[in-house]
Amino acid sequence: MKCCEVKTGELNRRVVFNQLVTSSDGQGGETTTFTEFKSVWCKVSPSKGTEKQDGGRLNTTQKLTITCRYFPDLVETMQAIYKGEELQIRSISNIEEANEWLEIIVERKAKAQ
């Protein structure tokens, strides 16, 4: 994908990226929570889905491709929030290493049936 293949008008979906933060619980332990890292306008496209049988239950997953303007410090340990749903980041690509666009593959897990 080249940078010019994404039109500004296609960046019409708001996605929030959260980072995992560890803090003291005040009793000698630690707690980890996700806090907002960055909120950006993106293009969100369905990619592919899979179904697997596991212990007599059907588990489905769907991957989405998120395209947005480049910003630094995004890592796979973060999560994306789209339409209130938590999505796991699977890969991050800096398109053409040009620091202009990011292509982020995320995974949505459906509940087992």
Every domain of the chain and the residues it spans: 3-109
What is the predicted pLDDT for the residue at 25?
84
| 70 or 47: which leads in pLDDT | 70
pLDDT exceeds cutoff 70 at 1? no
pLDDT in tens, 10-42: 999 999 999 999 888 888 888 888 999 999 999
Of the candidates 2, 34, 42, the residue with the CA atom closest to the CA atom of residue 18: 34
Take residue 40 and report the two structure tokens written for it.
């950006």
CATH class in words for 3-109: mainly beta
Per-residue pLDDT band for 8 (boundaries 50, 70, 90) equals confident
Q: What is the pTM of this model?
A: 0.81
| Long-range contacts of the stretch 93-98 (C-beta < 8 A, 24+) | 94/70, 95/1, 95/2, 95/3, 96/2, 96/3, 98/3, 98/70
